[in-house]
Structures are given as C-alpha cells and as structure tokens.
Amino acid sequence: MDKIIIQGGKRLSGTIPISGAKNSALTLLPCALLTDEPLTLRNLPRLADIDGFQHLLNQFGISTTIAGSRPEDFGRVMTLEAPRITSSIAPYELVRKMRASILVLGPMLARMGEATVSLPGGCAIGNRPIDLHLKALEAMGATIELAAGYVRAIAPDGGLPGGRYAFPVVSVGATENAVMAAVLCTGKTVLHNAAREPEIVDLCKLLVAMGAQIEGIGTSDLTIHGVPRLHGATYRVMSDRIEAGSYACAAAITGGEVFLKHAVADEMDATLQALRDAGVGVEPHSDGIKVWCDGPMKAVTLSTAPYPGFATDMQAQLMAMLCLAEGSSVLTETIFENRYMHVPELNRMGAHIETKGRTAVVHGVKKLTGAEVMATDLRASMSLVIAGLAAEGETQVHRLYHLDRGYERLEEKLALVGAAIERVGGD
C-alpha cells in the first residue's frame, strides 16, 4: 500500500492551483440522471470519489466520456449522457465506499418514478443518518420502504406532486437530494431551513442552466417550481474551498507564502477569518488568494457550524496548524460526534492536544517531530500532512486512499511550492 514520505521543515513558497470542488462535483454528477441530453462538467477534479461515482452512474446506463486528461492537466472535462436509464438500483458493492452515493436517490426517483439505493458508506466520522433525505422526499409525495440494507422510494402515478418541508436541522446532503427531486415535480416544492453552502448554490445554478425554476438560491428558503423536463448544459465546477483552506494552513504552519490560484474568498469567509485571528496574512485577489505567515501564530477559539459558519471539513487542518501557535486554542465540533480521530496521531508527532466530548484544547508547542502516522479519514489525512510539513525529520503517512478521495495530486501540488514530499509504494 502506498504511503507519503515528508521531510519536514521546508518553507512553502509559490503558487498552488486549486482544483474543482469535490463536494460540489459529487452533487453535480447525479444531475445527469435528470435529463436525456448530454451534461458536460468542466473543472472536474481527478479523485477516487469521482471515479467511484462515475462507475455508479455507469451502472444506470449513463455513458461517460472524458476529455482534458493529459498527465500535466489538473482537472478534466466529463460529458455524461443518459438517453435511457437501464437500472434504478444502486447496489451495495458500489455504494458502500462512498456516502455521496445516496445523492442518486432524488434524481432517479424524479425521472424514473422509483429508485432503490443501498444505505451508504464513507468516512467513519460519526453517525450520519439519512432520515432527513427520506422525510423530505416523503413530503413531496414519495413512499419510502426500508429493507435488507436498501432504501426504495416510489413516486405516485403521474410523478411526484411536490410539497413543503422544514428541515429540523441543517443538512447539506438532504437539501441536495430534495432539490434534485423537486425540479421535476408536477407542482411546487418549498424547502425551509435548507443548507446554504456554496456547493448548494453551485447545484442550483447548474439546475437552472438545465431549465429548472428555483427561487431563493443562496438563502435558507428555497422554492422550486417543477418543470416537465430538463435539457443538457455545459457547466464549470466551482473551486474547492476546503482544498484552498487546507493549503492555506500548510503555508501558515511552515512560515511560507503561497498564492491559491482560483480560490474564491467570498466562499470561505469563516476559514479566512480563522486564519486572520491566528495571525496569518490573507489577501484576496480576483483570481485567487495570497496567504502568508511571517511571525508567531496565535491561539484561537471557534466552533464548527453550518455555512456561513466555520466548516467541519476544515477543523482537522486548522487544528494541525494551531499545534505550533502560541497559547491554547479551543475547538468545538458541533457537526459530527467522532471527528477527533486525528488527535492521537498528531500527539504522536509531539502535539499537545486534549479532548473532552466535542471539545479539543490545542496547547501550542515549540516543535513537532516526524513520525509514522495512520490516516483515519479524509480531512484527518490532510491534517497529518500539514503537521508533517512543519515537523523536524521524516513523517510517513499511511492509508493514502483517504487522501486520494479528496485531494487531487496532493504531493505534486505541494512539491510545486517547495515541499520535500514523495509517494512511494508500501510493503
């Protein structure tokens, strides 16, 4: 199994190109189920999760062609075409590795009138039930059946009529599934307390480009007027705000200066404010964000929260950066209950982090020391890489399949800005 080896202590300097957003791409891909015309997605990141979702869509009879796949390119162009759906079942063997697979439920139900999807897998970062997905679809008129590890959703004859649903808590995935189902309803759907993440906005913009009628984009109240059919479109995937934030933390912990090309400051206000609070320099530009750190970092106190709050997907990376800040930082995880699995690995590298329930106290230390560490989930993996970039000596990060799910050609991008990092085959 591959591993990444990092010789720490190198100051990062230069430009890092930010890829298309994984969390957005995984929502845009199933939109191909909503039309019989071609859907072309540009700036699609090269990731294991994208490949997995492509295979899942192929299972339904969707053809996929890829352009722009030269080795030197970051991102690629994929055209998906589904003139005829040949299966409405998403089997366990394809769904179990990736939680985002549940996002085929809404569009498949809307187009075919029924869908059967295995309960999803993904990172082991806590209990993430899909009950809100199902309740939203029921509010639109679907009948839901659960049996043998599968969800079966059935629309009435004539299609989903639409309806009104208020999410009891903000849920990104459930909002996405509900919106994709609602666009082909025979009537109007109103969603209250909907998620407002930039990735939701990206989804709505694509659906509008395909002919959907959506009001309230970017707010917590969405009104979707169902249309009889959607047409094809060509659309560029938004830049990955989590990837950009991750590399910003890497630059800061090494006392470096990097330009995050294609990053959009307006989509990551909470992350940039956390960096500024820690004493990191941040300068937005029209085509990216400049980040630098030329002095000691300061401790911060913050909690994760739904957008526009501080993203849970940035918690581990910020924690790694704060290991070398002056004072004690307090981080509270409000989204997932099991998202501190990276803490023991950071402590193996000389960090001083204490956890109690959903709170972690990061006591700043003078230095980190390289060690062999094991990735436990996607963002935890990146936190270990960030720590390794600043640690004295050599760090080896194992279980790279987590990293490969969410960071496009990570070692290449870090090498561009001076990191001593390589991927090697394991035993």
Residues marked active site are found at 123
Pairing of strands 150-154, 143-147: antiparallel
Q: Which residue has the tokens 């560490």?
A: 373
Separation between Cα atoms, residue 60 and residue 103, nearest integer Å: 14
Number of Cβ atoms within 10 Å of the Cβ of 158: 9
Q: 205 among the known binding-site residues?
A: no
Separation between Cα atoms, residue 416 and residue 261, nearest integer Å: 13
Residue 40 Cα to chain centre, angstroms: 20
Separation between Cα atoms, residue 204 and residue 263, nearest integer Å: 20
Number of Cβ atoms within 10 Å of the Cβ of 156: 12
Pairing of strands 288-292, 281-285: antiparallel
3-class DSSP state of 123: coil
Q: Which residue has the tokens 């199994």?
A: 1
Q: 23 among the known binding-site residues?
A: yes
3-class DSSP state of 352: strand
Which letter does DSSP use for residue 279 in this model? T
Pairing of strands 359-363, 352-356: antiparallel
Q: 377 among the known binding-site residues?
A: no
Q: 49 among the known binding-site residues?
A: no
Q: 335 among the known binding-site residues?
A: yes
Q: 177 among the known binding-site residues?
A: no
Q: 84 among the known binding-site residues?
A: no
Looking at residue 264, its amino acid is V
Separation between Cα atoms, residue 237 and residue 243, nearest integer Å: 14
Q: Which residues pair with 281 in a beta bridge?
A: 292
Q: 128 among the known binding-site residues?
A: yes
Separation between Cα atoms, residue 231 and residue 218, nearest integer Å: 23
Closest CA to 133 of 158, 160, 168: 168
The residues near 159 (Cβ < 8 Å, ≥ 6 apart) are 110, 113, 184, 185, 186
Residues annotated in the binding site for UDP-N-acetyl-alpha-D-glucosamine, as ranges?
99, 128-132, 313, 335
Binding site members for phosphoenolpyruvate: 22-23
Point out the annotated binding site.
22-23, 99, 128-132, 313, 335
